[in-house]
Chains A and B, each alone.
Chain A
Amino acid sequence: MTGVAEATTSILREPEYRIEGRDKVTGAARFAADIVRPGMLHAAYVTSPFPHARVVSVDLTRARAMPGVRAVLTGAETKPQRLGRRLQDWPLLAWDRVLFIGDRVAVVAADTVEIAAAAAAAVDVEYEELPAILDPEAALAPEAPVLHPDAAGYAYLGGGTRPTVPHPNVQGHGIREHGDVDAGFAASHRVYEHTFTVARTHQSYLEPRASLVWLEGDRIRVVTTNKAPFALRQHLSVSLGIPESRIVVDAGHIGGDFGGKGLSIDEFVLYHLARVTGRPVRAVTRYADELQATNTRHAARIILRTGVDPDGRILAHTSRVIFDGGAYAAGKPVATLMPGDAMLTLAGYRVPAARVEAMAVYTNQVPAGHSRAPGQPQNAFAAESHMDLIARDLGIDAFALRERNVVRPGDVDVTGQPWHGTDGAALLAKLRSASRYDDRTANIRSVGAKGIGVGIALGVRHVGRGRASMVLRVTASGHVELHTGVSDQGGGAHTVFQRIVASELGVPLEQVAVIRGTTDAVPNDPGVGGSRVTPVQGSAALAAARALKKRLGDRELEEVGALEVIGEAAQETHEASMYAYALVAEVDPDTCKVRIRQATLVADVGTVINPVALRGQLEGGFVFGLGQAVMEDLRVEDGRVVTANLGDYKIPTIADVPPLTVELLTEDPGPGPFGAKSAGELANPAVGAAVANAVHAACGVRVMSLPVTAEKIWRESRRSGS
């Protein structure tokens, strides 16, 4: 074995080769929808055409009579079973009422996809339409119909009890206060209040959901695209009333996630179909259904109120955030039943006093769940637009206002807690130089360039938390196998683990194999999500390598014979890092089309383990954020998603992506292996505000909602005459 320190630095310095890259490029990688079983049947659903209706009757006569149809089930057979990641409020199949367009009423299993679809179309359902609640404010009215009258009976997973809510149509609610808010406002030189809205968006992963379920003796076998297989096992166990020991979940390659693949909605009914037919049953979601009936990012309405002193220093802050949670809270895994960072309304700043209130509300809309940095694109858009508006009104440069307020270690931020993370001043200084902000703005001023402006915005993201363990085995030939429950959803998890283990053991990469196991073969794993994989599971891989080194002592790997150790890691403390953008936008004076000419991103990432994948996460995060900043809008009319295909629901193509300069801060170590932090959700949330701020600087028009479209700018410029 070579010296560990030397190997560590050399392996981590080299650009990585993706472990799974060859299989994906050659087509050898098999995704859930590629997997077939002998005798496999195909599922298709009967779904509600109404946003809110009573199911009067379901007639299966015609469907059951069709050749090739093996089973048709309705809510009458699955009642009262419901599914969900934390609150199980989503019926496997609705039996009394449907709560959104796309809600499932019956399911068919048939010999082919075509027969299943034809049989589903032949199920006759009689509905009685009920008044639909399509707006969260309407849902909060005292006399509003209660969408979940039986909520008290819903399972709430993860221990504890569901937090109380102020209105039965509220999914989750939070209120938090620190400092003397009233005194802060009273002492303020100016108080600003702004209201922002953010459109519903979709994660837009390439691979739609797919799952396959069959019974094998006493066991229930599940092949799935779910990125948290152990969590899915628990959800299935609670919903179906079957012990976890009988359920085996297999989540292989996952074709994109972006937060959306934590919610499963098919596997539950597939179990029932497999049970009644005795055959494997598969469901592959059509993309139209992905867009209409899975779990979107929450649309939001955000009111921010902030008091400042004459220099623009924040003295007090209040906020009220209302998320449209849609028909079910099932997609949300966190205890509060809100998007993860629902209450982070003025992130990255010193806030001596704040009162923050947020809630997710039931409506008869498509359910909302988790999407890359849940809650943050909404809150970052509002906060960073708000800061820009304050700077403008006070006549202070937008950069200078942020420098005066940005959080430094030990400062109290909007959470009321001391900040543990990036030195915000250093981050902004780096952004100022990397983006050539002073030159650019001076140049724009001196040449009187109309229609060009620089916008800045910063963002904060916690480093992932959780507990994980992995098994490291030495084979008789001295090779090392890391056995993990983590499925790679495209982020490069397995390559991270391989590099960590090889670095720590000082062995060549080829000597370390990463083997993903099903839930019966590897230790419990929290799954992919919450920026967790590198800091938490990566730390478990490192712990396993360290445990192995200890067992080896002076011996070489080739000498010890078969050997097995377990590595465990827990990251419980709240650590966070920051990033910031400077974006140069040009606005066409006649059409108001926005062209981003250049973007600079500075990100605090700690130690870099996968340099290529890190860059991919940051660049991809920027493009993901850009799509939601300027074009993405999962538009709903009367409860129906009208952008139900990827021809109408637009996401960026490469021709839409401007030149991006990325500068990394790597000096300040994070809690992850070798000092790594997280990157997967670090770059996307602040793009919306950076665009809105750049547009304002370019043409004097402020857009208060996402996405910032040409037509909104045009409309606003006509209204304001600017």
Chain B
Amino acid sequence: MSYDYHEPHSLDDALALLTRFGDDGHLMAGGTATVLLMRQGLLRPAHVVSLRTIDGLSGIARTPQGGLRIGAMATHRAVERSDAARGYSPALVDAFASVATVRIRNQATVGGNLAHADPAQDPPPMLAALNATITVRSPRGERTEAVETLAVDHFTTSLSHDEVITSVLLPPILPGTREVYLKFLPQTADDYATVSVAATLRFADDATVADVRIVLGAVGPTTIRAKRVEDALRGARPTPERIRDAAALVRDEVDPLDDLRGSADYKREMARVWTERALAALTR
């Protein structure tokens, strides 16, 4: 395994390198996923372009409007320990704190995690449930995209090779909103989820559900938005019966695979159980 390693000092330099190398180049943030893929021979770039020497990509701060902006190079651990992030949403902190071990979280980055597009990762469902968007830079300028639509398949995003995620923007959370992240680990505490559920729910003044967003991890080629479950709850009073009936709809929304963390049958049923538990937690 031999490659050239580049440490540009500005985003423009990084973009220039990516443009020059085309398909021979690969962007690296924390490297926790990239290095594993390279060691397994699944990724063989001729050039690795690191983002770690570029300043200004790792801040975490509340926005004037009450949202949260997270630099793409912020580590999971930084989010986990950030007062700004905790003040914005404890459930967001839970999702980042659920990833692997502290050694990994000290290295893995928010942007790298999204670009890796592993459907079993913890942060993407929570970010999608919170309606986060990413800012993307390329030689053509800047654009934004919803986290929910970023991944298009297993380990595949809508990003082109010369695009770099620079930050994640989370909008203000409206009053009356609750959030939760639940990760089901049937075997060991140190594992990818068998299923995970991120959800946000906002009550109207009349105790009906004004809005709800439910996003599942590890049960499809990408994170899965449970829109039918959401529709069954929006405008309704979330009684235990209604939650149970609504959660059952998730079975037809997920698309799990048989793998080491469970059969498709089991995961489908666990998606129902954990969707119900997430909704119960939000309406308790």
Residues of A bordering B, CB below 8 Å: 114, 590-593, 630-631, 635, 642-643, 648, 650-653, 655-656, 709-711, 714-715
Contact = CB atoms under 8 A, between A and B. Distances in A.
B188 A631 contact: yes
B270 interface: yes
Interface stretch (B19-27, B85-93, B148-156, B258-266): B258-266
B1 interface: yes
A90 B187 CA distance: 35
B184 A591 contact: yes
Contacts of A653: 188-190
A655 B260 contact: no
B189 A711 contact: no
Interface of B: 1-2, 184, 186-191, 260, 262-263, 266, 269-270, 273
Contacts of A630: 187
A651 B186 CA distance: 13
Highest count of chain A CB atoms <10 Å: which of B186, B189, B190, B262: B186
Q: Which 8 A-B pairs have the closest CB atoms?
A: A655-B189, A710-B186, A653-B190, A631-B187, A590-B273, A711-B266, A593-B186, A650-B188
Contact of A656 (B188, B269, B273): B188
Contacts of B263: 711
A715 B1 CA distance: 44
Contact of A643 (B1, B2, B184, B260): B260
Nearest to A648: B260
A590 to B, nearest CB: 5
Given A648-B260, A711-B186, 17 more contacts: A114-B1, A590-B273, A591-B270, A593-B186, A630-B187, A631-B188, A635-B260, A642-B260, A653-B188, A653-B189, A655-B188, A655-B190, A656-B189, A656-B190, A709-B186, A709-B187, A714-B266
8 contacts: A590-B273, A592-B186, A593-B184, A630-B187, A653-B189, A655-B189, A710-B186, A715-B266
Nearest to A593: B186
Contacts of B260: 635, 642-643, 648
Contact of B273 (A591, A650, A651, A715): A591
A593 B261 CA distance: 13
Contacts of B188: 631, 650-653, 655-656
Contacts of B187: 630-631, 650, 709-710
Contacts of A711: 186, 262-263, 266
A304 to B, nearest CB: 27
Contacts of B186: 591-593, 709-711
Nearest to B263: A711
A590 B188 CA distance: 18
A667 B257 CA distance: 55
A655 B273 CA distance: 23
Given A114-B1, A593-B186, A709-B186, A650 B191 contact: yes
Contacts of B262: 711
A631 B191 CA distance: 11
A24 B10 CA distance: 43
B3 to A, nearest CB: 12
Contacts of A642: 260
A87 B270 CA distance: 48
Nearest to B262: A711
B151 to A, nearest CB: 20
A653 B102 CA distance: 13
A652 B1 CA distance: 32
Contacts of A715: 266
A623 B190 CA distance: 15
A710 B188 CA distance: 11
A114 B44 CA distance: 14
Nearest to B276: A590
A653 B260 CA distance: 18
Contacts of B189: 653, 655-656
Nearest to B192: A647
A709 B188 CA distance: 11
Contacts of B266: 711, 714-715
Nearest to A712: B266
A122 to B, nearest CB: 14
Contacts of A648: 260
Contacts of A592: 186
A354 B116 CA distance: 59
A643 B187 CA distance: 15
A653 B100 CA distance: 11
A402 B145 CA distance: 65
A552 to B, nearest CB: 53
Nearest to B185: A593
Nearest to A590: B273
Contacts of B184: 591, 593
Contacts of B270: 591
B244 to A, nearest CB: 11
A721 to B, nearest CB: 15
A709 B191 CA distance: 15
B191 A114 contact: no
A114 B260 CA distance: 31
A642 B188 CA distance: 18
Nearest to B273: A590
B118 to A, nearest CB: 12
A97 to B, nearest CB: 27
A63 B167 CA distance: 47
A635 B259 CA distance: 11
A652 B188 CA distance: 6
Nearest to B266: A711
A648 B40 CA distance: 14
A505 B66 CA distance: 75
A643 B261 CA distance: 11
A714 B187 CA distance: 13
B238 to A, nearest CB: 19
A213 to B, nearest CB: 26
Contacts of A652: 188
Contacts of B273: 590-591
A643 B260 CA distance: 8
